[in-house]
Amino acid sequence: MFSYIRADKDTQSFVNDLRDNKDHLFRFFGGIRDNYDHKELEGTLEHKDEVAKYLSIVLDEHVFDMDFYRELPPFEHFLNISVNATQRQKRRWDSNFTRAFADSWLKSHPDSEAAKAVSVLGINAPRESHHKLLQEMWPTVLPEFTD
């Protein structure tokens, strides 16, 4: 399904392939991610759900440049204060999730400099670190979604 996105290229070409397939990737991983909280409550999470959530977060934020954590002008409307607090909380949760995911990747790939950066800084790690970690992971995680 995703064999046309090849991680054996240079990082920028890999990222360009991801961007060229934005709609397909967004729908596929976003759909899995939408069910994440429900599965978590049911206790039916699988490793591929964790991978899909990580991919969804990083693709949206660092590849597709979608700003899901955008805050509203705080004094424009009193509800904006509440919305902004929610946005900051979502960003913290996603950052904590990306840190934990990178930590788990480091257990089996201890030399990954990209995973080290993400494990410390989470979603705030440099964009290049996220791109390189995606590229490292792609050949390993892809079979979970193509079988």
Spans of all domains in the chain: 11-146
Give the pLDDT confidence of 66-115 residue by residue, as tens digits: 766 666 666 666 566 676 677 778 888 889 999 999 999 999 999 999 99
Per-residue model confidence as pLDDT tens digits over 24-68: 888 887 777 677 777 777 877 778 888 888 988 899 888 987 766
- Print burial letters for 22-42: b (CB count within 10 Å at least 16), e (below 16): eeebbebbeebbeebeeeeee
Of 72 and 121, more confident:
121
pTM for the complete prediction? 0.81
Q: What is the pLDDT of residue 121?
A: 95
